[in-house]
């Protein structure tokens, strides 16, 4: 189906909405839970929180100003569209941080850590899912990884070790540990937002009863399966491999069916981050 002007307009509008909503949620997490309790996030946001505490400058303004050099640095290296969307998202974050400055939800450190991390991860995840970012260190890491061979994760980790060490010196080591916990909670929530709650699993099943298992999966659970051809390395015998993609709820039922038909079947389960296309319910596909 060709892309129409109407569909393109709604796609752009949807992206703008989420690039606005994400920063608003992240700002609420920061000002409502984290910043009042001296708990920081990683990256430029963490640096800005520390600098704001020491200098009394507005946090929103600092985040915007400190992100500008990174965005300018990456403008011609990563992609103008991504950088412009990041610029908009950071600008929105700065605006909402200033608007939410007087919001303070709780003084409980554990509640602030858990709920602050969950809400922050939701906001950041919405921005990332719509091709933007709230932190210039991610952009910097992408550029450095291309030029020096380090992975993006290694660069971000090294930067965050420095930030959390500084947090320990400024706010105390207990706050630094709460900050690290917040970071990991937010990281897991970001993964959930990006992958969705119904993350899929791909399954490969090797069994001498492949036809029976495939037929049962198709008829009982209405799961589309594909038969792949394989050869046993030891025996040299031809093997029929069942391949299918299911959700987490279906996985348990599939294991039960396989166990009933062939208790000795080999099963391999792998996480699938994205899956597109429908299932076939009328017949088993064969390759």
Q: Give me the half-sphere count of Cα atoms (radius 13 Å) on the Cβ side of residue 207.
A: 25
- Looking at residue 8, what is its pLDDT? 79
- Looking at residue 243, what is its pLDDT? 92
- Looking at residue 280, what is its pLDDT? 43
Specify whether the backbone of 247 is left (phi greater than 0), alpha (psi in -120 to 50) or beta: beta
Q: Which residues on adjacent β-strands are paired with residue 41?
A: none
Spell out the domain ranges in the chain: 5-195, 200-286
- Looking at residue 151, what is its pLDDT? 65
User: What CA–CA distance (Å, rounded) separates 194 from 131?
Assistant: 11
- Looking at residue 75, what is its pLDDT? 72
- Looking at residue 146, what is its pLDDT? 66
- Cβ atoms within 10 A of the Cβ of 8, count? 10
State pTM to two decimals.
0.72
Angle in degrees, 0-180, between the axes of helices 136-148 and 43-55, rounded to the nearest 10: 130
DSSP 42: S
- Looking at residue 284, what is its pLDDT? 39
User: What CA–CA distance (Å, rounded) separates 55 from 58?
Assistant: 9
3 state DSSP class of 174: helix
Q: Which residues of the chain have pLDDT under 50?
A: 1, 280-287
Pick the CATH number of 200-286 from 3.30.420.40, 3.30.70.120, 1.10.260.40, 3.40.50.720: 3.30.70.120
- Looking at residue 131, what is its pLDDT? 81
């Amino acid at each position: 189906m060709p892309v129409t002007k109407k569909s393109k307009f709604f796609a752009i509008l949807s992206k703008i909405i989420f690039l606005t909503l994400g920063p608003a949620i992240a700002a609420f997490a920061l000002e409502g839970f984290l910043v009042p309790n001296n708990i920081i996030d990683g990256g430029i946001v963490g640096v800005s929180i520390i600098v704001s505490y020491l200098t009394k400058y507005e946090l929103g303004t600092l985040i915007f100003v400190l992100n500008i050099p990174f965005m300018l640095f990456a403008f011609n290296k990563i992609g103008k569209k991504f950088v412009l969307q990041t610029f908009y998202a950071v600008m929105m974050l700065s605006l909402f941080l200033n608007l939410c400055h007087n919001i303070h939800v709780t003084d409980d450190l554990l509640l602030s850590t858990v709920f602050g991390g969950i809400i922050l991860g939701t906001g950041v995840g919405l921005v990332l899912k719509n091709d933007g970012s709230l932190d210039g260190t991610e952009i910097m890491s992408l550029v450095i990884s291309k030029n020096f061979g380090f992975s993006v994760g290694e660069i971000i980790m090294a930067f965050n070790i420095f930030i959390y060490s500084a947090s320990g010196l400024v706010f105390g080591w207990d706050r630094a540990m709460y900050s690290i916990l917040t970071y990991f909670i937010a990281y897991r929530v970001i993964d959930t937002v990006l992958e969705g709650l119904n993350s899929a699993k791909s399954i490969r099943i090797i069994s001498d009863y492949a036809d029976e298992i495939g037929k049962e999966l198709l008829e009982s659970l209405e799961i589309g399966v594909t038969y792949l051809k394989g050869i046993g390395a030891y025996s040299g015998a031809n093997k029929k491999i069942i391949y299918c993609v299911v959700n987490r709820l279906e996985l348990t039922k599939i294991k039960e069916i396989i166990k009933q038909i062939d208790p000795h079947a080999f099963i391999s389960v792998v996480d699938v981050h994205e899956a597109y296309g429908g299932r076939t319910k009328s017949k088993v596909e064969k390759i």
